[in-house]
């Protein structure tokens, strides 16, 4: 029986790692596109996230298809992106994040919702860095006002630190996120931007020319 030897050259190795890196970033690109689609879908609703709210507030987290499941004891898990306002009002590049949580009570079933959190101050997100924070512990979230005019949002005085919007099957869906943890997804950030990039670096820049990022930023401008 003959043994076949394969000579692995540096060129083959480099091509292999390029292909692996490209494939690793595919999921992240898809997640950014999904976040853009979530915002597009919210924009099509009769009662949407008020544009005035996004103009005044400085941070946003978008979690597509957050899984909310329960059988007595409930749990939530989702992956999405976070962005903050930079000088001049433009949005930063997206930082990849995760949201997990649990609850106890009378609940049963599995629900998939698109979740959007709008933050009054961007420092809440930029300070997460290597750790995470608990919504409802470190900071509370309130159900967000809806409407397409500035009046709809100013009627609420926009006093909450975080406003929450959740959507399921084209309709607003009530979901409790207090008690959930928001954390930085370091692996996804490394896949998308490179191992050198920290969440602080990404929050501070708006220079990605990737098509998915451009689409997301343009979508946010439409509100």
Tell me the three state secondary structure of residue 184. Answer: strand
What percentage of the chain carries pLDDT values higher than 70?
74
Question: pLDDT-based confidence at 125, cuts 50/70/90?
Answer: very high
Cβ contacts of 110 within 8 Å, gap of 6 or more: 67, 68, 69, 70
User: Are 154 and 178 a contacting pair, CB within 8 Å?
Assistant: no
pLDDT digits (tens, 9 = 90+) for 68-108: 765 555 678 899 999 999 998 999 999 999 999 865 444 45
pLDDT digits (tens, 9 = 90+) for 17-32: 444 444 557 899 999 9
pTM: 0.83
The total of other beta-carbon atoms located within 10 Å of residue 140's CB is 14
**What is the reported pLDDT for 211?**
97
Alpha carbons 67 and 88: distance in angstroms, whole number: 35
- Higher confidence at residue 172 or residue 195? 195
Domain ranges in the chain are 46-221
**What is the reported pLDDT for 164?**
92
Alpha carbons 34 and 60: distance in angstroms, whole number: 15
């Amino acid at each position: 029986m003959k043994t076949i030897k394969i000579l692995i050259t540096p060129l083959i190795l480099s091509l292999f790692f390029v292909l692996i890196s490209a494939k690793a970033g595919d999921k992240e690109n898809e997640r950014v596109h999904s976040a853009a689609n979530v915002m597009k879908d919210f924009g099509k609703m009769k009662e949407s996230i008020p544009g005035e709210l996004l103009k005044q507030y400085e941070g946003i987290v978008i979690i597509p298809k957050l899984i909310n499941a329960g059988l007595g004891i409930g749990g939530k898990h989702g992956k999405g992106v976070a962005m903050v306002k930079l000088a001049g009002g433009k949005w930063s590049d997206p930082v990849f994040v995760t949201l997990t949580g649990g609850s106890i009570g009378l609940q049963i079933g599995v629900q998939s919702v698109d979740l959007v959190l709008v933050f009054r101050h961007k420092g809440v997100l930029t300070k997460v860095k290597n750790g995470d924070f608990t919504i409802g512990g470190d900071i509370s979230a309130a159900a967000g006002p809806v409407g397409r005019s500035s009046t709809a949002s100013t009627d609420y005085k926009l006093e909450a630190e975080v406003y929450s919007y959740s959507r399921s099957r084209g309709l607003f869906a009530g979901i409790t996120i207090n008690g959930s943890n928001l954390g930085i997804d370091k692996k996804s950030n490394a896949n998308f931007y490179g191992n050198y990039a920290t969440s602080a670096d990404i929050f501070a820049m708006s220079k990605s020319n990737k098509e998915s990022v451009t689409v997301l930023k343009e979508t946010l401008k439409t509100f």
